[in-house]
Amino acid sequence: MLIAHIAFVTKNSTANLFMDSAALALLVAGFGLLLIALGFQRQMQHLILSSISYGCVGVLMFIAGSLMFAIALNIATYERSPTVQPLAQITIEQTSPHIFRINLMRIPNGDLQVFQLQGDNWHVTARQLIWDGWTQWIGMHSNTRLQNLISNGSDANFYSLSRNPGLDLASLPMRLPLSQTVLQTRILTSNEYPLQDGLRYQINVTETGLDIRAINQPK
């Protein structure tokens, strides 16, 4: 059961990238709408060729801007990887026998999610986007997003850790095989760690996968 979800919004590189990309996308889409309006105006003036030209270019720009916004919306849920700072920090608190409260804080933005787990161990999975070819020349880098928090044992729990707004980039290589030349995706799965009161873990992403380390001694 998801107990609470508390978001602390701060400025970070991912947020700035989203703002810049979203602003550009809205500008392109808005200019497209302007051209479509001018096309209607030319039609009212019986300037058929001019009307068709404005309308076609306007529609193409509106579609391009909408697609750019959908991509920016989805990629904003990922963090660039690998980075010098961890993806998140997990704190385990035992609230009753065999029941643990998990505080998962995202780094660096401070978003906090709180979950309740039962079981003996826990692990997380993450989704990684690996960009290649010409996409790297326009500033695309490998990105990682935490996907699921899972406990193991007779009372296993499963929680989704991320939303998936906009265009689902992770499914793009499957839906559009041509995109596989510039985009690959993979699922990263961590090792299992004990559910033990007082333990704190740091979740890092490396070239080889997820690296989770305890950063304190248990109580």
Look at residue 117 in the predicted model and tell me its pLDDT.
92
- pLDDT (tens digit per residue) in 25-73: 778 878 888 888 888 888 888 788 888 888 898 889 888 888 888 888 8
Work out the percent of the chain whose per-residue pLDDT is above 70. Answer: 86
Identify the band that residue 173 occupies on the pLDDT scale cut at 50, 70 and 90: confident
Look at residue 155 in the predicted model and tell me its pLDDT.
62
Rounded Cα gap, residues 28 and 58, in angstroms: 9
- What does the mean pLDDT of the chain come to? 82
Rounded Cα gap, residues 9 and 68, in angstroms: 23
φ, ψ (nearest 5 deg) of residue 83: -125, 170
Count CA atoms closer than 13 A to 157's CA, side-chain side: 21
Under 8 Å CB-to-CB from 217, ≥6 apart: which residues? none
Q: Is the model more confident about 6 or about 75?
A: 75
Work out the percent of the chain whose per-residue pLDDT is above 90. Answer: 27
Look at residue 4 in the predicted model and tell me its pLDDT.
34
Q: What is the mean pLDDT of residues 130-146?
A: 83
Contact 61, 35 (CB under 8 A): yes
Lowest mean pLDDT among 72-76, 99-103, 152-156: 152-156
What's the N-to-C CA distance of the chain in angstroms? Answer: 25
DSSP string over 78-89: SEESS-SS-SEE
- pLDDT (tens digit per residue) in 2-20: 333 333 333 344 455 455 6
Look at residue 6 in the predicted model and tell me its pLDDT.
30
Rounded Cα gap, residues 171 and 129, in angstroms: 10
- pLDDT (tens digit per residue) in 110-126: 889 999 998 889 999 99
The amino acid that residue 140 corresponds to is: M
Look at residue 86 in the predicted model and tell me its pLDDT.
86
The amino acid that residue 17 corresponds to is: L
Nearest to 57 by CA among 46, 65, 68, 47: 65
Distance from chain centroid for Cα 170? 10
